[in-house]
Amino acid sequence: MGKINLTEGETFRFSKTFTETDVYLFAGVSGDYYPLHTNEEYASKTPYKHRLVHGILTFSLASTVSGMAAIKGRENAASVRYNNVRFLKPVYFGDTITAIYTIEKIDEEKMRTYATCRMFNQKGEDVLTCEHTLLFFD
């Protein structure tokens, strides 16, 4: 087995502004047309007052930044676990979300890395957190 080319404390970052198009494309792919995401009239009567980006669409940025880590680590890798996914605040159309992925621990013997992912909006508010495990292989 080779070496994992990452260091503990190393970070990867990605930002994206979520648009109405993103939400409707995701709804089409996933089949999730829940009105809180797709019906402004419905959403206006909820505590959120406006349509929300799907939580799982926001969560998908964890895959983006973990993929960055995987490529730098040694390319041959697979996600084997997401733990403690927490949706902390709603994400609205037009919000810019930044995902920061931090390598917390490297286990060369098991060829795994353990990381945390934190996402925040343009106001600096935490919107999502999770833990992630990558498995590296030859």
Give the pLDDT confidence score for residue 75 in this predicted structure.
80
Give the pLDDT confidence score for residue 1 in this predicted structure.
61
Report CA 119 to chain centroid distance, whole Å: 7
Give the pLDDT confidence score for residue 129 in this predicted structure.
98
| C-alpha distance from residue 12 to each of 28, 33, 36, 44 (Å) | 29, 32, 31, 36
Give the pLDDT confidence score for residue 70 in this predicted structure.
96
CB atoms within 10 A of CB 1: 11
Domain ranges of the chain: 11-18+54-136
Give the pLDDT confidence score for residue 138 in this predicted structure.
85
* Intervals of the chain under pLDDT 50: none
Contact status, residue 19 vs residue 92, Cβ threshold 8 Å: no
Pick the CATH number of 11-18+54-136 from 3.40.50.10540, 3.30.360.10, 3.40.50.1100, 3.10.129.10: 3.10.129.10
Give the pLDDT confidence score for residue 97 in this predicted structure.
98
Give the pLDDT confidence score for residue 53 in this predicted structure.
98
Give the pLDDT confidence score for residue 50 in this predicted structure.
98
Strand partners for 96: 17
